[in-house]
């Protein structure tokens, strides 16, 4: 079990409650589930890394439990009751140093401290669809949902959000534009936040400016956008909608750079690799697909028999395979170097001989000497 979990580089949560690990190098998928007692109320809603070293996966289920899975040992190590199903499903799970943040659909955002049972509670409003943590400033979270605009909360000052977005101006019929934030992303190295909405809009907000309305608005397709992810390269965002269309949008102009083909069902989970230009997508068509962002081609496709809800990429995705290969290459190179080292000593002698010859030819014709120098 531990051997299987250690080679897995992509983790997925399914509707049947099974945690799946996929190893792209070995082209295998493994199911990690507790015994055979599966039930639909253990359906995985959210997943997050438990620690920066990515050795623990936190899995949040519909019945309100958050389970900790250790990738080294390959078993679930802890279970924690973090709410009950009456408040809705988990919409966000995050970890700061020594505490865990959970958010449910009814708007109850709780910070669970390690060891103690006291929690800090914030009511972020009803109908939350997503809660996301700022990866660089871990005490800041953003929430948004249906008729619930984007709000950025600082957990050290939980009474009021530090930023509330304002709705855009009325449209050309002078009617209020409905709000439905489906997914949120923090742009690295800046204060900006990207959101995708159920009304097929992608908006960029900048809390550092006094403007509370979006800085950029882009539209894609005709169907609700369900998932969003920011790749390692700046200036682009990958979004997916309920029709199975994945698109790369440019955040400078708001144009569609290209579409990633292949999906047949709604996109439920989307994540870009932290360093490589890859994006993993999973959805209702029961497949995991890994696309390359540079040429938009499909790199891997894995059939996993249940509908998939969320995906987590480890930072060492395909690098592990290349590490093995590079290891071999290094070994071969080392051997070759040894061979060349032994050779060099021989060539030094020839150089000496050549030098001696040169000295000998100094007295000879100049042209010949020049040729010999060129040959060296």
Partner 1 sequence: MDSNEATTSESVSKKKGKTKKVKRKVKSDEAPVQEMEQAEGEETEKKSESGPCFPPTFSVSEIKNKQRRHSMFLKLKEEKRKAPPKEVPKTIENQRIYDETTVNPEDEEVAFDEGTDEFSAYFNRLTNPKVLITTSDRPRGRTVRFCEQLATVIPHAHVYYRRGLALKRVIPQCVSRGFTYLMVINEDRKVPNGLVLCHLPDGPTAHFKVSNVRLRKEMKRRGKDPTEHVPEVILNNFTTRLGHSIGRMFAALFPHDPQFVGRQVATFHNQRDFIFFRFHRYIFKNEKKVGIQELGPRFTLKLRSLQKGTFDSKFGEYEWVHKRHEMDSSRRKFHL
Residues 6 or more apart in contact with residue 373 via CB below 8 angstroms = 358
Question: Pick from 261, 349, 368, 372: which binds partner 1 (CB under 8 A)?
Answer: 261
Pick the closer one to partner 1 by CB: 207 or 240. 240
Which token pair is 208? 């550092």
Contact between 253 and partner 1 per CB under 8 A? no
Our finding on whether 76 is near partner 1 (CB under 8 A) is no
Interacting positions 178-217 with partner 1 (CB under 8 A):
198
Stretch in the footprint of partner 1 (CB under 8 A) among 53-61, 164-172, 283-291, 358-366: 283-291
Beta bridge partners of 152: 142, 163
Least Å distance, CB 221 to partner 1, is 12
- CB of residue 376 vs partner 1: minimum separation in angstroms? 49
3-state secondary structure of 353: helix
Residues 121-180 that bind partner 1 (CB under 8 A): none
Q: Say whether residue 91 binds partner 1 (CB under 8 A).
A: no
With binding defined as CB under 8 A, does residue 303 bind partner 1? yes
Pair of tokens at residue 169: 């101006």
CA dist 278 and 338 (Å) reads 37
Contacts of 138 (CB under 8 A, 6+ apart): 94, 96, 97
Residue 265 touches partner 1, criterion: CB under 8 A: yes
262 binds partner 1 per the rule CB under 8 A = yes
Assigned token pair, 92 = 């966000």
Distances (CA, A) of 28 to 10, 147, 303: 11, 42, 10
Q: Taking CB under 8 A as the rule, does residue 242 contact partner 1?
A: yes
For the segment 38-57, give every residue that binds partner 1 (CB under 8 A): 38-40
DSSP state of 180: B
CB of residue 100 vs partner 1: minimum separation in angstroms?
Answer: 28
Residue pair 88/104 in contact (Cβ under 8 Å)? The answer is yes
How far apart CA 2 and CA 25 sit, in angstroms, is: 17
Q: Does 224 bind partner 1 (CB under 8 A)?
A: yes
Q: Classify residue 216 as left (phi > 0), alpha (psi -120 to 50) or beta.
A: beta
C-beta of 34 vs 54, nearer to partner 1? 34
Nearer to partner 1, 158 or 221 (CB): 221
Query: How far apart (Å, rounded) are the C-alpha atoms in residues 93 and 114?
Result: 15
Interface with partner 1 by CB under 8 A: which range of 98-106, 229-237, 282-290, 321-329?
282-290
26 binds partner 1 (CB under 8 A): no
Among 34, 54, 250, 285, binds partner 1 (CB under 8 A): 285
Nearer to partner 1, 148 or 242 (CB): 242
Straight-line distance from the first to the last Cα atom of the chain, in angstroms, rounded to the nearest whole number: 60
In whole angstroms, give the CA distance from residue 206 to residue 170: 20
Among 226, 271, 281, 309, binds partner 1 (CB under 8 A): 226
In the list 284, 292, 300, 316, the residue contacting partner 1 (rule: CB under 8 A) is 284
Closest CB to partner 1 among residues 67, 268: 268
Assess 258 for contact with partner 1 (CB under 8 A).
Answer: no
Q: What interhelical angle do 366-375 and 319-362 show, nearest 10?
A: 170
Measure the CA–CA gap between 158 and 174, rounded to whole angstroms: 36
State yes or no: residue 307 binds partner 1 (CB under 8 A): yes
Reference 223, options 141, 142, 283; nearest CA is 283
Binding segment toward partner 1, per CB under 8 A, in 71-79, 118-126, 241-249, 341-349: 241-249
Does residue 266 interact with partner 1 by CB under 8 A? yes
Q: Which is nearer to partner 1, 304 or 354 (CB)?
A: 304
DSSP assignment string, 196-220? EETTSEEEEE-TTSS--S-SEEEE-
Say whether 225 sits in a helix, a strand or coil.
strand
The site for partner 1 (CB under 8 A) is made up of 15-16, 18, 31, 36, 38-40, 198, 223-224, 226, 242-244, 261-262, 264-266, 268, 284-286, 303, 305-307
């Amino acid at each position: 079990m531990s051997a299987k979990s250690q080679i897995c580089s992509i983790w997925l949560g399914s509707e049947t409650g099974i945690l799946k690990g996929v190893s792209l190098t070995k082209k295998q998928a493994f199911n990690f589930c507790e015994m055979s007692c599966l039930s639909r109320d253990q359906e995985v809603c959210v997943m997050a890394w438990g620690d920066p070293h990515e050795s623990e996966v936190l899995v949040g289920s519909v019945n309100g439990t958050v389970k900790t899975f250790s990738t080294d040992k390959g078993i679930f190590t802890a279970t924690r009751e973090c709410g009950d199903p009456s408040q809705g499903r988990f919409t966000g799970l995050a970890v700061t140093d020594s505490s865990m943040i959970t958010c449910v659909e009814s708007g109850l955002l709780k910070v669970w401290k390690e060891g103690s049972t006291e929690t800090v509670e914030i009511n972020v409003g009803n109908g939350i669809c997503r809660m996301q943590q700022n990866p660089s400033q871990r005490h800041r979270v953003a929430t948004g949902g249906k008729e619930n605009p984007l709000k950025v909360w600082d957990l050290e000052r939980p009474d009021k959000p530090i930023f509330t977005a304002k709705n855009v101006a009325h449209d050309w019929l002078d009617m209020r534009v409905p709000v439905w934030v489906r997914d949120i992303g923090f742009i690295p190295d800046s204060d900006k936040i990207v959101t995708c909405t159920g009304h097929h809009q992608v908006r960029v907000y900048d809390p550092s400016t006094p403007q509370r309305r979006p800085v950029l608005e882009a539209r894609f397709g005709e169907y609700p956008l369900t998932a969003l992810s920011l790749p390692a390269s700046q200036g682009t965002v990958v979004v997916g909608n309920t029709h199975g269309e994945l698109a790369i949008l440019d955040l400078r102009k708001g144009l569609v750079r290209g579409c990633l083909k292949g999906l047949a069902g709604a996109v439920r989970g989307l994540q870009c690799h932290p360093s490589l230009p890859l994006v993993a997508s999973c959805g209702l068509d029961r497949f995991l697909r890994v696309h390359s962002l540079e040429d938009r081609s499909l790199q891997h496709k894995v059939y996993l028999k249940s509908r998939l809800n969320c995906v987590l990429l480890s930072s060492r995705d395909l690098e592990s395979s290349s590490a093995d290969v590079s290891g071999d290459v290094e070994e071969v190179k080392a051997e070759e170097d040894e061979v060349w080292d032994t050779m060099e000593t021989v060539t030094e002698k020839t150089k000496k001989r050549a030098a001696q010859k040169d000295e000998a030819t100094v007295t000879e014709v100049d042209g010949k000497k020049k040729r010999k120098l060129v040959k060296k």
